[in-house]
A = this chain, B = another copy of it.
């Protein structure tokens, strides 16, 4: 009878600990990333979970032979001595004594992944070979940083007494309405894939006061653009007992500050690898929607054609303006027209054509939509009716309002979109491990 006690011996040393093991013999496990044959010796670069480690083969100290079995793509266990790298300061390398081959690839790589970055291959090829291309250190660094963004969001909100929730993705109706919703057959009944956790997070405000979720949402976007995915990760929060929707903007600002600090402290290698300039967030300026339109006309001499929303170009101009005027990468635009906001948005009592809502622009691109919601049952029913909606279709959602809920609001933040803009990608697909678009469901 074996017993399992959860004690795990660390058999492999991580590169970051090499400095503590100089002149010692250690074990390093990883994939052979690259072999560079030199005159009389060879560099064997081993890729571990987070590093690429330079190892040296030489008949002087290596007991095995560099033969045809040791190839790129092998999983190996290397034993050897840690020494200082003589050509690169503060770097260490491993003098390989022996290599045990743990597994061997069936074929050589179809794409060169062991240079600093992938060659300039088309996006489609990168995505078709995702299980391979992600092995490139720069490619994988993207999703390590993405881990950090979501982790920062979560850690900050947990520290602010939020409860993490998990809401169903199979829904009886859509929260956002419109045509971009996926339908499926559910035991003979038509149901929908969640476009957002909107209804559920609101329902849980009278339960937990503050809630958040990080999970997939689905949008049947029929167009193929560089900034839309058909499945993406939405980071959502909703909080009760707010004094105004400024509380929500404050919470988001706090979260963004925390995220940037976390990236700096825990993901610095990946940031360096990708040459990322983290934005400095001290305070974020705010501007009203109509004032923003005025700046676009007066300062940028652009003719406004639509007073209900922004065109992407207008958002770009506002981003530029925030940078020039306030040296800020971020800008909150507030008080969007009611007409273009969802039925649950609260209208501004001082001017009901506008809402107590905001978008957050990051370097001129919208990454968040948020605002205060209607909490009063009769007000919500009236707004639904005014929009031609039937409140009976939303019976369980409206239970939250009917039986009492506090003033509240919240926001949604697209994880891939913030990753994309933080890393300066031109296409959001580079910010998704396995993107889904109108033409792609594989790998």
Contacts and interface: CB of A to CB of B under 8 A. Distances in A.
Interface stretch (A35-43, A103-111, A306-314): A103-111
Given A396-B443, A399-B132, A283 B5 contact: yes
A170 interface: yes
A81 interface: no
A204 B104 contact: no
A363 interface: no
A187 B222 contact: yes
Contact of A131 (B161, B203, B220): B203
A287 B4 CA distance: 11
A396 B130 contact: yes
Given A75-B241, A171-B441, A396-B442, A104 B404 contact: yes
A254 B376 contact: no
Interface string A158-180: 10110111111111100000000
Interface in A228-285: 230-231, 233, 240-241, 243, 246-247, 249-251, 253-257, 281-285
Interface in A321-353: 332
Interface stretch (A18-26, A61-69, A91-99, A431-439): A431-439
A112 interface: no
A422 interface: no
Contact of A75 (B220, B247, B407): B407
A138 interface: no
Nearest to A375: B103
Nearest to A105: B404
A253 B163 contact: no
Interface stretch (A6-14, A297-305, A364-372): A6-14
A156 B287 CA distance: 43
Interface centre among A107, A110, A241, A377 (most CB of B within 10 A): A241
A48 interface: yes
A73 interface: yes
A293 interface: no
A187 B438 contact: yes
A400 interface: yes
Given A169-B169, A204-B433, 14 more contacts: A4-B249, A6-B281, A31-B404, A49-B163, A105-B403, A106-B401, A107-B377, A109-B403, A128-B396, A146-B166, A170-B218, A187-B220, A187-B438, A396-B443
Minimum-distance CB pairs A-B, first 3: A396-B443, A73-B404, A105-B404
